[in-house]
Structure 1
């Protein structure tokens, strides 16, 4: 991975990003995504393990007594499960994660059966002809929508192997956009964070460092930040970074905040956690030294894996780095290569430098 000059294309592994984005994996069904992450961790990690919820943990070893650094991006995406199949073969949806009803009608979704078969359907929508204005303005709840499989009845649907509880995800292909720094895909929330965790290990490949660096793909973040807790219990880190997305506010619909292509975003706070000030200050110093631009995020609603990491044991030094994303919790999200590349860079720089002395300096920041 390299940083390119201003206005040129930032070099990233597009095939890795495509595989991570296109893999299907709602909360509790992340195995397909985990296998993709393992494929790439195998190239750089000395050890790979899992916790009992399914979070994947890749360790690049440093010194035996070196600090433990956890870098976490969650694998699960928002989606649905099959709630019911009616007599006419229409599938009723149950959301897993937050969905706005406006983004769903007429979209293609994929059901993944227990045997791994992929079944495509389209979310039903009404023609506007003659529809009362009040009804046109109403947002339909996701649970009131249906998936049309193009079958005659329930028996045909069941013959495809579909069962109650099967996973449903958007049918979206990864694309490099017209300006190739812009990348479109599903599930950047938070496959881009998982990609950062992988690429930090790639940046450290062949280098000596004190830190034992754990790149983690956590599970079940969208339904209660669960995998971060069990992975933290497994690793017992000294310092942790959660990678997640934040809402880009550079479109006609959202103005006045984080924008795509602005570089690194340090999350000062969200509704569930505050950045450790010593760690925040250290990243600021590193960014100044190596010439990386910093931005800041203050998210008053929602949270990240940091929420459960920092409360573990007697407290973990932790913070979130955010990557701005347009159209979050929908079928198609847009990110920018620069934000991704520079986020990898600053975390890798920190991991190269951290030792017991620096760890103690950060710890003492909250005490003196």
Structure 2
């Protein structure tokens, strides 16, 4: 069996993965990120939407460098409670109906109490072929809390608008390089932000590094916009996951355990060409693997960051992930660690001279 790759804090990954925080409800996650970031940041602040910003100071009059991963996960809000006590749910972020029936979810009340329920499903006996082959729309599904009626739901303190999230434990898989959990999109990358700051805390660097956990990415990249306008960075990297194309369902080039993935473009950004070239150079210097990602649908925080003020030199680094926007996602330690090493080395090299090269 392979040995585990990289100096990765599994306790941090477990805490971030198991935290509950859909778009607009990221406070628990941001406080957790603050705990892990605090030893490596000179200052920690927030923007007015709730994105957390840790500053690791470099030298005055040197470039500002923003790296970010979003803290929100896909989930639901309580949309309706019927007389029998079943909860109808409003998706927050993209869900495919196939992944939901019979899965457990957790409702978090305004007071912070949590209650487990199961998404209802029909037994296959007697169902027509047409019904069996139909994907149920998430709005047509319901959460069963195991109560008798609506009054018992209200006794628990559950109200319309309360957050609903997947109920999943972090797991190290049978090969220790494969890690399974919920919310890897994008808590994995929030952890990477902390790890870059940890590595750089041991070195002097000229650039002023902003490690950012953004909010509300899944509903429109909102936190990236406010954070970038607040910080006005010279250079930025958005970290996000991409589909791992190495399963019987998804076939393609990129897969788990292949290392760094440079995103050339998506529906909202074409990466800065000079930035891509510099990252390729660093990968070769550090003997890191180089892969590429291109999407014509979907996007990342980079889509809003690069349009802030008069424009920001920006690109996305992608982390392949199996089973995105579901209860359980799988990632590989090699992809995580090589990407952290790449960003840390770029930060060490970033100065005013390199900034001018990037701007071309």
TM score, norm. by length of structure 1: 0.97
Is the Cα contact below 8 Å between 2:2 and 2:176 reproduced in 1?
no
**CA distance in 2 between partners of 1:315 and 1:187 (Å):** 30
**CA distance in 2 between partners of 1:248 and 1:189 (Å):** 13
**CA distance in 2 between partners of 1:182 and 1:43 (Å):** 28
Is the Cα contact below 8 Å between 2:37 and 2:54 reproduced in 1?
yes
Counterpart selection for 2:229 from 230, 233, 236: 233
**CA distance in 2 between partners of 1:43 and 1:115 (Å):** 30
The aligned counterpart of 1:3 is: none
Counterpart selection for 1:249 from 236, 245, 252: 245
Counterpart selection for 1:9 from 4, 11, 18: 4
**CA distance in 2 between partners of 1:290 and 1:331 (Å):** 35
Deviation at 1:7, TM superposition (A): 4.1
Is the Cα contact below 8 Å between 2:70 and 2:217 reproduced in 1?
yes
Check if 1:301 corresponds to 2:282: no
What is the RMSD computed on CA atoms of the aligned residues? 0.9
Uncovered stretches (5+) of structure 1, i.e. residues with no partner = 1-5
Deviations 1:180-200 (A, max 9, x none): 000000000000111111110
**CA distance in 1 between partners of 2:275 and 2:2 (Å):** 31
- The 5 A counterparts of 1:1-368 are 7-10=2-5, 11-364=7-360
**CA distance in 2 between partners of 1:206 and 1:78 (Å):** 35
Deviation at 1:299, TM superposition (A): 1.2
User: For structure 1, which segment, 204-213 or 167-176, has the greater mean C-alpha deviation from structure 2 after superposition?
Assistant: 204-213
TM score, norm. by length of structure 2: 0.99
**CA distance in 2 between partners of 1:106 and 1:259 (Å):** 28
Deviation at 1:294, TM superposition (A): 0.6
Deviations 1:50-109 (A, max 9, x none): 000000000100001111000010000000000010001000010000000010000000
Deviations 1:257-277 (A, max 9, x none): 210000000000111111101
Runs of 4 or more, structure 1, over 6 Å off, are none
Uncovered stretches (5+) of structure 2, i.e. residues with no partner = none
Deviation at 1:8, TM superposition (A): 2.4
User: For structure 1, which segment, 108-117 or 203-212, has the greater mean C-alpha deviation from structure 2 after superposition?
Assistant: 203-212
Deviation at 1:162, TM superposition (A): 0.2
